[in-house]
Amino acid sequence: MRFASIMVVSGWIAGCGDPPLLCEFQGCEDPPPIECIEGNTVLRTYPSTGVCDVEQGGCVYEPVDTPCDDCTASCLGQCEGVVCDDLAGGCRVSGACVPGDLEDAATCAYEPADDGTACDDGDPCTAADQCIDENCLAVPVEEEEPCDGEDGFCVGGVCVECLGAEQCDDDNLCTIDQCTANSCNSLPDDGAPCDDADPCTDADSCLGGSCQATPIADGQPCVDGQLGLCLAGACVDCIGDLDCDDGNLCTTDTCSGNACTITNDDGAACDDADPCTASDECLGGSCQATPIADGQPCVDGEIGLCFAGACVECITAADCDDGNPCTADVCSGNVCSNPNDNGAACDDGDACTQGDVCQNGACGHTLVISCTALSDCHDVGVCNPATGICSNPTKALGASCDDDDLCTYDDECDGAGTCGGTDIACTDTLCVDRECNGTNVCTETNATAGTFCGGCSECDGSGSCDYQCSGSETCCFDLPNYCIPSGSQCF
């Protein structure tokens, strides 16, 4: 079945004058799209090349109609599985599948992206890619700068692997990394230290570009931070029961299949290390106990009192008594302090001191009893701290002393504390004054010459009393110089 041909005019509108050479630039290679018509029972297609109308201008495409049972399903090329990705680095977008002719595959139709839209020209050594007239244009990346969107660096417009060895690290401690001609290569670093991450090898070192090591003997601890023991080259939990000891007295530790099994040992004795609990016993794998009442002594060797479940130093000031009368006993925040109580009266326990008073936490005194000798026949005594009384020891018999009596001499102690000497009598005469001087010789002092010495007599100054009347005179009245001639009468 045929229908009227379709004319497509390019570059000129029919009826607007007579265009010269109407077919000179007409290629007629843009036919209308195929379509299903007549209720999806006819497929209308057009030849790929039309005929130019030299009189009217434009291209004429003769339609071809083909009957179909189901035009969409049986006559058109299918779009199923056709993916219309963006083209030109993203400068041709919104691709949509266009069914093909009977013998042609489906194709994609695109929309141009707006100028300035970011795109990707696929060249890692260009940057700032953007769409211009459906083409992806960009500027070159500067020399030796990182490639755009790829690992590497731009050299001469080409993205190369490296500029130096620092870009060639292959994360292998057993290779020496090099950059040669902008390409990375690695050489074995035999003998270098390494770690093969195997907890049952030791003495790790590089050989042939890989880490080699010596196996650890069975039963020895695993290394590299792994807990366990080495067995047949593997790090296992245990080999024997002792390897499973978890340090918990309330569990039974066993090793089975190189794996530890821990079971609760309820009822076993234990110690929760809490000084304010008692009757400790295992229950549910842990040590349980009964709290000790407040004010009771702490246990487990701790010194203090239990208070609110904790072992504290004190509850009241009485708990802080340090037995020192020269400190004040203070309990603050359950902690004792004993500051000095300077100036407080005290007793230093020594009766031989007086004025006892506290100073710098100790009992001191202001006076000390000083013992003296009771007499010349006593030595200096010693104060008894218990009584405060001085002893009075006697000097030995015959010890020199002074009995304070000038009328004795050669004084000496009798061994019983008494001083005595030999007596001497110093008797005065009319013209001589005799005095004791503590020796066996009296001190004599002669009366002044002319001193009356009785019976008309005078001392002569040398200790003698001389009669003053001549042989022809008689002494009268027993007065000084009352000499009268003999035969005369006294009156």
Q: Reading across the β-sheet that carries 51-52, which strands appear in turn?
A: 6-8, 59-61, 51-52
Question: How many Cβ atoms are within 10 Å of 20's Cβ, its own excluded?
Answer: 6
Residue 15 clears pLDDT 50, i.e. is over it? no
Closest CA to 258 of 223, 285, 222, 234: 234
Residue 475 clears pLDDT 70, i.e. is over it? yes
Average of pLDDT values for 106-112? 77
Q: Quick one: how far is CA 218 from the chain centroid?
A: 40
Question: How many Cβ atoms are within 10 Å of 307's Cβ, its own excluded?
Answer: 19
Task: Return the pLDDT at 12.
Answer: 41
Among residues of the chain, what percentage have pLDDT more than 70?
A: 88
Residue predicted with more confidence, 102 or 29: 29
Distance CA 219, CA 238 (A): 9
Task: Return the pLDDT at 10.
Answer: 42
404 DSSP 8-state letter:
S
Task: Return the pLDDT at 455.
Answer: 77
pLDDT in tens, 318-349: 999 999 999 999 999 999 999 999 999 999 88
Closest CA to 62 of 75, 77, 49: 49
pLDDT in tens, 185-238: 999 999 999 998 899 999 999 999 999 999 999 999 999 888 899 999 999 999
Q: Cβ contacts of residue 113 below 8 Å, gap of 6+?
A: 90, 91, 92, 93, 119, 131, 134
Q: Quick one: how far is CA 319 from the chain centroid?
A: 34
* Three-class secondary structure of residue 331 per DSSP: strand
Give the side-chain half-sphere CA count within 13 A for 388.
Answer: 10
User: Cβ(154)–Cβ(124) under 8 Å?
Assistant: yes
Question: How many Cβ atoms are within 10 Å of 200's Cβ, its own excluded?
Answer: 24
Question: How many Cβ atoms are within 10 Å of 144's Cβ, its own excluded?
Answer: 11
Give the side-chain half-sphere CA count within 13 A for 40.
Answer: 6
Task: Return the pLDDT at 479.
Answer: 63
Distance CA 362, CA 319 (A): 21
90 conformational bin, left if phi > 0, alpha if psi -120 to 50, beta if neither: left
* Three-class secondary structure of residue 266 per DSSP: coil
Task: Return the pLDDT at 16.
Answer: 42
User: Cβ(249)–Cβ(282) under 8 Å?
Assistant: yes
Distance CA 321, CA 306 (A): 18
Specify the amino acid at residue 310: A
pLDDT in tens, 44-84: 877 777 888 877 778 888 888 878 777 766 566 556 666 77
User: Cβ(468)–Cβ(458) under 8 Å?
Assistant: yes
Task: Return the pLDDT at 20.
Answer: 46
Assigned token pair, 326: 């020269």
pLDDT in tens, 129-183: 898 888 889 899 888 899 888 889 999 889 999 999 998 998 898 999 999 999 9
Q: Cβ contacts of residue 425 below 8 Å, gap of 6+?
A: 407
Helical ranges in 235-354 per DSSP H: none
Average of pLDDT values for 283-305? 93
Residue 375 clears pLDDT 60, i.e. is over it? yes
pLDDT in tens, 316-326: 999 999 999 99
Residue 480 clears pLDDT 70, i.e. is over it? no
Task: Return the pLDDT at 478.
Answer: 61
Question: How many Cβ atoms are within 10 Å of 128's Cβ, its own excluded?
Answer: 11
Specify the amino acid at residue 58: G
Closest CA to 182 of 150, 145, 141, 154: 154
Q: Cβ contacts of residue 333 below 8 Å, gap of 6+?
A: none
Residue 25 clears pLDDT 80, i.e. is over it? no
Q: Which of 19-28, 407-416, 478-487 has the highest mean pLDDT?
A: 407-416
Distance CA 471, CA 343 (A): 95
Task: Return the pLDDT at 102.
Answer: 54
Buried/exposed code over 49-79 (b: 16+ C-beta within 10 A; e: otherwise): ebbbbeeebbbebebbeeebeebeeebbbeb
Residue predicted with more confidence, 204 or 482: 204
Give the bridge partners for 212, in sequence order.
205
21 DSSP 8-state letter:
T
Helical ranges in 330-413 per DSSP H: none
Among residues of the chain, what percentage have pLDDT more than 90?
A: 52
* Three-class secondary structure of residue 329 per DSSP: coil
Q: What is the largest CA-CA distance in the chain?
A: 235
Per the prediction, the chain carries an average pLDDT of 85
Average of pLDDT values for 418-442? 92
- How many residues in total does the chain contain? 491
Task: Return the pLDDT at 383.
Answer: 93
Residue 18 clears pLDDT 80, i.e. is over it? no
Distance CA 340, CA 320 (A): 14
Assigned token pair, 11: 């570059």
One DSSP character per residue, 122-180 reads S-TTEEEEEEETTEEEEEEPPTTSBPSSSSSEEETTEEES-SSGGGG--S-TTEEEEEE
Closest CA to 450 of 430, 434, 423: 430
Distance CA 9, CA 33 (A): 16
Question: How many Cβ atoms are within 10 Å of 350's Cβ, its own excluded?
Answer: 17
Average of pLDDT values for 243-256? 93
